[in-house]
Amino acid sequence: MKNVISIRDLSREEILHLLDQGEKIEKGELKPDHSETVMSIVFFESSTRTRFSFETAMKRMNGKVITMSGTKGTSVDKGESLGDTLKTVANYSDIMVVRSGLEGTQRYASEIIPIPVINAGDGSNQHPTQCLLDLYSIRKTQGKLDNLSIAVVGDLRYGRAVHSLVYGLSHFSPKLHLISPDFLKIPEYIKTDLEDKNIEIHEGSDLSEVINKVDIMYVTRIQKERFSDLDAYERVKNCYVVSKSMFGDVKSNFKLLHPLPRVDEISTDVDDTKYAYYFQQAKNGVYIRQAIISELLGGSK
Amino acid sequence: MKNVISIRDLSREEILHLLDQGEKIEKGELKPDHSETVMSIVFFESSTRTRFSFETAMKRMNGKVITMSGTKGTSVDKGESLGDTLKTVANYSDIMVVRSGLEGTQRYASEIIPIPVINAGDGSNQHPTQCLLDLYSIRKTQGKLDNLSIAVVGDLRYGRAVHSLVYGLSHFSPKLHLISPDFLKIPEYIKTDLEDKNIEIHEGSDLSEVINKVDIMYVTRIQKERFSDLDAYERVKNCYVVSKSMFGDVKSNFKLLHPLPRVDEISTDVDDTKYAYYFQQAKNGVYIRQAIISELLGGSK
Amino acid sequence: MKNVISIRDLSREEILHLLDQGEKIEKGELKPDHSETVMSIVFFESSTRTRFSFETAMKRMNGKVITMSGTKGTSVDKGESLGDTLKTVANYSDIMVVRSGLEGTQRYASEIIPIPVINAGDGSNQHPTQCLLDLYSIRKTQGKLDNLSIAVVGDLRYGRAVHSLVYGLSHFSPKLHLISPDFLKIPEYIKTDLEDKNIEIHEGSDLSEVINKVDIMYVTRIQKERFSDLDAYERVKNCYVVSKSMFGDVKSNFKLLHPLPRVDEISTDVDDTKYAYYFQQAKNGVYIRQAIISELLGGSK
C-alpha cells in the first residue's frame, strides 16, 4: 500500500488488516512511534474536525505535523499551480494528507510526488479514511462485518462519506437500504458497481420502513455547500429527522452512525440512548488514522 | 480540581497551591512532562497572545497541542451545535482550553464532556487563568498577597480580567481602589459580592488621587470590541493615560500591571521605568498555565 | 552571530560556515537537537511556503513552534503597537522568525527583544535565509561558489530574494548578468554597492543573449503584490518565459533556479530537464534553516 486515495483501491484483506491494526492501537497493544517523521496536512478546503483527527493521530505517535488549512494567504493566492504547491510541500514532509474540493486532486498528487498521499476528501467523490473508521465502528459494535443489514440515509448523491462507505461494505455481503429523497439518490454508476458485485440493494425514501430491520443506520447531513440551487436545498434539508421515539422496535444490536457534523437530522434526545454511536465513531477515527499512517510509513509491526 | 471555569470556584488554598507550583516551575524545581497528552485549544474568539501562552506552556512540558482559532471554515460554519463541536474535540484530546464570546460556554462544556476544561475567557465574564497570573505577578513583586492596596483602572464594566482579578484578590484582604469613568463602573453584582466579603472598596474616577497610595496599579484597556455604541467608546477611550511624569511620589514597591494588549493607556515612556511590570507579567502566564494544566492532569508532583 | 537580519551583516566566512553546517545536516553527519526550545514564527504577511520550511526545520530538530500567520484576529487588530507584540511573543519563545511587509521590522525587533531574530522577508528589502539557501544550491550544483557567471532575471526592483542574493554573491567574485525590463531594474543603491566591491555587472533586458554563457540562471516572479499600478504590472508580467526550447546550447553545468512560487515565467516542460533545480532548491531550504537556527541557538557543534 503506497497511498490511500480511494477505498476502491483496497482489497478486503487490506481493509481487514488496517482495522486489525487500529484495534491493536486502541487496545494499547501496538504503539507506533513516528518521532522522525513530518506529516503535511494540505487542506485546500478548510476543516477543523478532520484536521484535528489527523493531527491527533500523528501527534499521539510523536510525529511532527505542518498544516495548511484553506488557501488564503498561501502561494495558491499568488497564482501558483496545484502541482507546484504539492511538489514543494512534498519536499518538506514524509507523508501528505490532502483535502480538496476538486475531484481527483489526490490521485494527481500521488502521481507527481514521491511521498505517500492520503485522501481526506475530494469534492463529492471519495473519503476513504472516513470509510475505514466507519467500517471499524460497524465491526466494533456488531462483532463482525459480514452479512449485516445496513441503512444509509440522507444525501446519497453528493455525500462522499456515503460513496466511500458503500464501496467499502461491498466486500462484506451487506444488505443495503438506500434511503433518500428522489433528488438525492445514489449516483447510477455506483449503483451499477454494487449490482455488478451482487450486493443486495433496496432503494426507498421512507426510513420508518427499514429502521426495525437493520443492524446499522448510517445517517448523513444534507450538505448545503454541495448545492448550487438553494431552493432545492430548502426543500430537502429536513426530510429526515431521527428521534428517540422511533426506537421502540429496533433490533437490540441496532446502532446509529453519522459522519458528523450533524445539523438537525438526529435529535439531541437520541444522544443518551444506547443506540447513539456517532461520537464514539469520531473517536475511532484517531485509531484507524494511526493505523493508516503507520502502514504507509512502512508498516506498523 | 477538575476544571478551571471561574476564579470563584477556587479556594484561597487552591489559589496559593497553584501559585506555589508555578513558582517551582519558574525556578526549575519542577519539570512536569506531559508528552503523552494532547491539549485542544478551542477558541471561538480568535486570539494570538492567549493562544501562544497556552501553547507555549503545554509545549514546554512536551505536550501535544491541536488548535482551532476562530470559527471560519469549521463545522460551526456548517451549522453544528456548540455541544457537538465540544464533544467531538473532546474525543481527540485529554484537556481542553476554551475561549468564547458567549458567557457560560466553559461551564456548559465542563458539564457535557469528560475531560478537564480551562476557561480562557468567556465574553465579559471571567478569565481565571489571567487572574492567577496576575496574582502570581502581584505576589512576586510584593513578596506577599495579603493586605495590599491595589488600584484597578479603566474598563471595570466589561473587562473580564478585572472581574476575575477582584474575586481572586478577595481572599487576601485587599484595599481596592476602583477607578473608572462613571459609565464603566464595576457591575453592581460584583460590588455586592465584595462587600459581602468585607472587602474595603473605594470607587472613584481620578487616578491621580490614588497613585501615590497603592502598592499595585492594574490598568486595563477600554475594549472597543465590547461596545455596541461607538460614540460611547470614543468619549471614554482616552480617559486614562499613565505616563512617567506621574511617578514622582509613588511608593518604592509600586508596580504597574496591565493584562495587555495596551493601546494608549500606558505611555511607552513608562516601559523603561522600574515600575513597569506588564511584560514580565505576561511571561509569568506561561509558568502559571503550566501549573494549572499539570494540576488538572493529575497533579504536578 | 546574534541575529540574521540582512545578508549584508554576514561575512564570507560566516556564510561558508552556515553552508558547511547545512551540508553536514543534509548528509546526516550533524543532528542538532532543540527539544528544549520554543521558536516563534511571527508573520505579519502570511505565507505557507516559508512558514512550512521554518516549521519543518525546527520540528526535524525536535524543537517546538508557535505560529502567527497574518494579523487577523490578533492583538495587532486590537490596536497594539508592533513593539508590544514583539516584546510579548519574545516572552514565550527562545528564538523568533519574523516576516513583515514593512522594511526594517526585524532590525527594530532585534533592538528591542532579547532573543535571536531571523528575518524571513521584510517588504521589498531583504530575505537573507532565502539567499543562504540559494548560495547553498549554487555551491551544491556547481561544486564551488567563486568566479561563477550568474544571470538574475525578472523583477530586480522589488524582489527581496534578488536583493539578498546579489549581496550574498558579492563575496565570491561573480560575473553578474542582471536581466529585467527597464522599469524593474535593480535599485541604484545596490548597483553602486556592487560596483564598490568591483563586481562585474552587465545589465540588459534580453535573456537569450546570456543563457548560453552562464552557469546559473536565477529567475524570479514578477510580484503582483508589490505593484501599486496594475497597468504597469500587466505590461511586464509575461516579459520572460523560460522554456525547454531555449536550452539547446547552454553549458553542461547550467542550472535554473527560482525562489518559487512561479507563475508563468518557467514553462512546466522545463521541470523534467536536467537543468531544472528549483524544487530541490526549496528542499535545501530546510537544511540551511536548520543550520541558521542552530547557529543562533549557540552553535551546532
Q: What is the mean pLDDT of residues A154-172?
A: 94
Q: Which residues on chain B are in Cβ contact (under 8 Å) with A49?
A: 74-75, 88
Q: What is the DSSP letter of A239?
A: S
Q: Is B162 helix (H, G, I), strand (E, B) or coil?
A: helix
Tell me if B112 sits within 8 A of B83, measured CB to CB.
yes
Contact A69 B73 (CB under 8 A): yes
- Number of Cβ atoms within 10 Å of the Cβ of A78: 18
CATH 3.30.420.40 for the B7-126+285-296 domain, yes or no:
no
Q: Which residue in C has a C-alpha nearest to residue A83's C-alpha?
A: C268
Distance (Å, whole) CA A246 – CA A239: 15
Closest CA to C43 of C52, C35, C34: C52
- What are the pLDDT digits (tens) for B57-76? 999 999 999 999 887 766 67
Is domain C130-282 annotated with CATH 1.10.760.10?
no
Per residue, the 3-state secondary structure of B5-42, as one string, reads: CCHHHCCHHHHHHHHHHHHHHHHCCCCCCCCCCEEEEE
User: Are B221 and C87 in contact (CB < 8 Å)?
Assistant: no
Model confidence pLDDT, tens digit, residues C117-142: 999 998 878 899 999 999 999 999 99
Q: Do B40 and A59 touch (CB under 8 A)?
A: no
CA dihedral B209→B215→B221→B227, nearest 10 degrees, is -70
Q: List pLDDT tens digits, range A17-35.
A: 999 999 999 999 999 999 9
Is the Cβ pair C88, B49 closer than 8 Å? yes
Size of interface B-C (CB pairs under 8 A): 67
> How far is residue A270's CA from residue A265's CA, in Å, rounded to a whole number?
11
Q: What is the mean pLDDT of residues B199-226?
A: 93
What is the per-residue pLDDT for A134? Answer: 98
Q: What is the mean pLDDT of residues C266-281?
A: 97
From the list C78, C83, C89, the residue facing B52 with the nearest CB is C89
Q: What is the pLDDT of residue A79?
A: 80
Write the DSSP assignment of B236-284 as a string of letters. Answer: HTTS--B-GGGGTT--TT-EEE--S--SSSB-GGGTTSTTB-HHHHHHH
- Position C301 pLDDT exceeds 60: no
Chain B residue at shortest CA distance from A33: B36
By Cβ distance, the residue of C69, C261, C262 closest to A73 is: C69
CA distance A290 to A300: 9
Section B255-282 average pLDDT: 95
pLDDT at C77 over 80: no
Phi, psi of A220 (to 5 degrees): -125, 155
Structure confidence at residue A101 (pLDDT): 87
The one-letter code for the residue type at A244 is: K
Strands C200-204 and A200-204: unpaired
Cell of C188: 541604484
List the single range of B25-39, B141-155, B189-203, C38-52 with lowest mean pLDDT: C38-52
Name the residue facing B73 among A70, A262, A263 (closest C-beta).
Answer: A70
- Angle of helix A160-169 relative to helix A128-142, nearest 10 degrees, comes to 50
Place of cell 460590588: B191
Determine the distance in angstroms separating the CA of A262 from the nearest CA of chain B, rounded to an integer: 6
Which residue, among C214, C278, C284, has the nearest Cα to C249 in the 3D structure? C214
Mean pLDDT of the region B137-147: 98
Looking at residues B24-44, what average pLDDT do you find? 97
Residues of C engaging B, defined by a Cβ cutoff of 8 Å = 35, 38, 40, 64, 66, 68, 72-75, 78-81, 83-85, 87-89, 91-93
pLDDT tens string B222-246: 877 777 888 888 888 888 999 999 9
If we measure between CA atoms, which residue out of B189, B58, B64, B44 comes closest to residue B120? Answer: B44
Question: In terms of CATH architecture, what is B128-282?
Answer: 3-Layer(aba) Sandwich (3.40)
Distance CA B133, CA B7 (A): 12
CA angle at A89 for the pair A83 and A95, rounded to the nearest 5°: 105
**Scanning every residue of chain B, which has its alpha carbon at the shortest distance from the alpha carbon of C43?**
B48
Q: What is the pLDDT of residues A47-85, one digit of tens each?
A: 888 999 999 999 999 999 999 988 776 667 778 899 999
The phi, psi pair for A243, rounded to 5°, reads -130, 165
Residue C81: its chain B contacts at CB < 8 A?
268
Calculate mean pLDDT across residues C72-88: 83
pLDDT of B164 > 70? The answer is yes
Give the bridge partners for C130, in sequence order: none
* CATH class for the domain made up of C7-127+284-296: alpha beta
- Residue A253, classed as helix, strand or coil, is coil
Which grid cell is C226?
Answer: 508589490
pLDDT score at B300: 46
List, for residues A170-225, the tens digit of each pLDDT value: 999 999 999 999 989 999 999 999 999 999 999 999 999 999 999 999 999 887 77
CA distance A45 to chain B (A): 8
Query: Residue C39: is it exposed, middle or buried by C-beta count within 10 angstroms (0-12/13-18/19+)?
Result: buried
Boundaries of every domain in chain C: 7-127+284-296, 130-282
% residues pLDDT > 70 (chain C): 98
A301 band by pLDDT with thresholds 50, 70 and 90: very low
Q: What is the pLDDT of residues A265-298, one digit of tens each?
A: 999 999 999 999 999 999 999 999 999 999 999 9
Q: Per the structure block, which three cell numbers stand in for B37? A: 497528552
**Does B252 have pLDDT greater than 90?**
yes
From start to end of chain B, where are the E strands?
A: 38-43, 64-69, 95-100, 117-122, 149-153, 175-179, 200-204, 216-219, 255-257
Distance CA C2, CA C135 (A): 21
Chain B partners within 8 Å of C79 (Cβ): 224, 261, 263
The arrangement of strands across the sheet holding B64-69 comes to: B64-69, B38-43, B95-100, B117-122
Q: What percent of chain B has pLDDT over 90?
A: 80
Q: Which residues of C touch B225 (CB under 8 A)?
A: 78
Residues of chain A positioned with their CB less than 8 A from the CB of C46: 72-74
Helix/strand/coil (H, E, C) string of chain C?
CCCECCHHHCCHHHHHHHHHHHHHHHHCCCCCCCCCCEEEEEECCCCCHHHHHHHHHHHHCCCEEEEEECCCCCCCCCCCCHHHHHHHHHHHCCEEEEEECCCCHHHHHHHHCCCCEEEEEECCCECHHHHHHHHHHHHHHHCCCCCCEEEEECCCCCCHHHHHHHHHHHHHCCEEEEECCHHHCCCHHHHHHHHHCCCEEEEECCHHHCCCCCCEEEECCCCHHHCCCHHHHHHHCCCCCECHHHHCCCCCCCEEECCCCCCCCECHHHCCCCCECHHHHHHHHHHHHHHHHHHHCCCCC
- Which tens digits make up the pLDDT trace of A237-263? 888 999 999 999 999 999 999 999 998
Give the CA count within 13 Å in the CB-facing half-sphere of C47: 24
SS3 A286: helix
What's the alpha-carbon Rg for chain C, to the nearest Å? 19
Q: Do domains B7-126+285-296 and B128-282 have the same CATH topology?
A: yes
> pLDDT digits over C1-28, tens only?
899 999 999 999 999 999 999 999 999 9
Separation between Cα atoms, residue A29 and residue C4, nearest integer Å: 47
**Chain C residue with minimum CA distance to B57:** C92
Q: Which of A34, A48, A280 to mutate to test the interface with B (most CBs of B within 10 A)?
A: A48
Work out the pLDDT band at C299, boundaries 50, 70, 90: low
Q: In terms of CA atoms, which chain B residue is nearest residue C94?
A: B56
Q: Give the closest residue to A123 by CA, choosing from A204, A187, A39.
A: A187
- pLDDT score for A300: 46
User: Is the Cβ pair A40, C52 closer than 8 Å?
Assistant: yes
pLDDT digits (tens, 9 = 90+) for C212-261: 999 999 999 887 777 788 888 888 888 899 999 999 999 999 999 999 99
Cα A275 to the center of its chain, rounded Å: 20
Please tell me the predicted confidence (pLDDT) of residue B293: 98
- Digit-coded pLDDT (tens) for B67-121: 998 877 666 777 789 999 999 999 999 999 999 988 899 999 999 999 999 999 9
Nearest Cα to Cα of residue A223 among A177, A265, A190: A265
Residue-averaged pLDDT of chain C = 93
**pLDDT at residue B213, as a whole number:** 97
List chains touching C (3+ CB pairs under 8 A).
A, B
Helix (H) or strand (E) holding A18: helix A12-27
pLDDT average, residue stretch C92-108: 95
Residues of B in contact with C38 (CB under 8 A): 56, 59-60
- Nearest residue, CB atoms, A52 vs list B78, B84, B92: B92
Phi/psi-derived region of residue B79, left when phi > 0, alpha when psi is between -120 and 50, beta in every other case: left
Contacts of A134 (CB under 8 A, 6+ apart): A161, A165, A168, A218, A257, A259, A281
